[in-house]
């Protein structure tokens, strides 16, 4: 891993996909002009986060309007870009899929959300991604010149096994496009992000959309970048904003030496 600046784009998402591209382009260009080498967009950055919208906006990868947009701007600016997530159409199914694009526009990594957001919280929120979406079945990590990057999406955050698997695969940075809501967000968003960073001695970057003033899904926002000690390096509230920090490999090395938890694991004891 080398030292580099990462920027999370907490943007408001519209019904109009092209309008979302325009807003994302402005923010990505701004982040790149400030020195960001990795920019991250939020979950479902190109369409509203609701079950009824996913089939209407579904598109294929690596072709399709979102892929063309992401590949093009990554290559134009010479940056790494996590394309939040989009509804991906493949084999007659729809997936909640995140992508990582390299500085020449190449698709480096694809992650389909493994754990679908199916909840019924009394007095809170009811949402069922499985009514429309299918689940992915892989842990997603790739080596880049910035370091080894792992991808997960939103509800995946509640499953420490997936994040430990990324850490054991050598991840230095865990990236999470996610859209917690005003029920689960205040209770768990910060705690879970900090816990996944601490227990795996990894940097973690979690990017949410900003809530839309006209209503719809009540995104919690509060995008944040966390270091391996659990310190929040930067975060925002619920407004549209950019969150940025420099990730320092010497800090990662120092903490992994001080707290060698990955080496101290006892998998011989953990079997059930």
Indicate the pairing of strand 173-177 with strand 118-120: unpaired
Does residue 237 sit within a domain? Answer: yes
Does residue 65 sit within a domain? Answer: yes
Does residue 241 sit within a domain? Answer: yes
Among 7, 27, 88, 113, the one annotated catalytic: 113
Indicate the pairing of strand 86-90 with strand 93-101: antiparallel
CATH number for the domain that contains residue 211: 3.60.110.10
Give residue 214's pLDDT: 83
The SS3 assignment for 156 reads helix
Predicted TM-score (pTM) of this structure: 0.96
Residue reference for tokens 């010149």: 145
Q: Are 156 and 115 in contact (CB under 8 A)?
A: yes
Our answer to whether residue 154 is catalytic in this structure is: yes
Q: Are 65 and 45 in contact (CB under 8 A)?
A: no
Give residue 120's pLDDT: 94
Does residue 266 sit within a domain? Answer: no
Give residue 1's pLDDT: 77
Our answer to whether residue 34 is catalytic in this structure is: no
Domain limits at 88?
4-261
Among 27, 43, 88, 129, the one annotated catalytic: 43
Among 154, 190, 202, 207, the one annotated catalytic: 154
**Maximum pairwise Cα distance, the chain:** 53
Our answer to whether residue 113 is catalytic in this structure is: yes
Number of domains within the chain: 1
Give residue 213's pLDDT: 85
Residues in the chain: 272
Does residue 269 sit within a domain? Answer: no
Q: Are 38 and 237 in contact (CB under 8 A)?
A: no
Does residue 90 sit within a domain? Answer: yes
Does residue 194 sit within a domain? Answer: yes
Does residue 53 sit within a domain? Answer: yes
What does pLDDT average to in each consecutive run of 10 residues of the chain (272 residues)?
94 96 98 98 96 96 96 98 98 98 98 96 93 97 98 98 98 98 97 98 98 90 98 98 97 96 95 82
């Amino acid at each position: 891993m080398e030292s580099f600046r990462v920027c999370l784009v907490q943007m408001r998402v519209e019904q109009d996909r092209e309008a979302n591209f325009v807003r994302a382009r402005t923010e990505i260009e701004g982040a790149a002009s400030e020195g960001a080498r990795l920019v991250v967009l939020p979950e479902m950055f190109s369409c509203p986060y609701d079950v009824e919208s996913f089939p209407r906006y579904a598109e294929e990868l690596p072709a399709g309007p979102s892929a063309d947009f992401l590949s093009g701007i990554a290559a134009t600016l010479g940056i790494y870009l996590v394309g939040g997530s989009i509804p991906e159409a493949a084999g007659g199914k729809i997936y909640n899929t995140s992508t990582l694009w390299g500085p020449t526009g190449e698709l480096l990594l694809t992650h389909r959300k493994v754990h679908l957001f199916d909840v019924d919280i009394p007095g809170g929120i009811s949402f069922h991604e499985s009514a429309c979406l299918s689940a992915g079945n892989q842990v997603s990590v790739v080596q880049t010149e910035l370091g080894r990057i792992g991808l997960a999406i939103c509800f995946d955050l509640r499953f420490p096994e997936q994040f430990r698997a990324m850490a054991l695969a050598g991840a230095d940075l865990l990236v999470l496009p996610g859209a917690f809501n005003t029920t689960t967000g205040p209770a768990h968003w910060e705690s879970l992000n900090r816990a996944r960073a601490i227990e795996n001695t990894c940097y973690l970057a979690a990017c949410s959309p900003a809530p839309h003033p006209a209503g719809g899904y009540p995104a919690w926002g509060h995008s944040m970048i966390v270091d391996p000690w659990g310190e929040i390096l930067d975060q925002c509230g619920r407004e549209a904003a950019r969150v940025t920090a420099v990730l320092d490999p010497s800090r990662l090395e120092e903490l992994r030496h001080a707290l060698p938890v990955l080496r101290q694991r006892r998998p011989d004891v953990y079997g059930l």
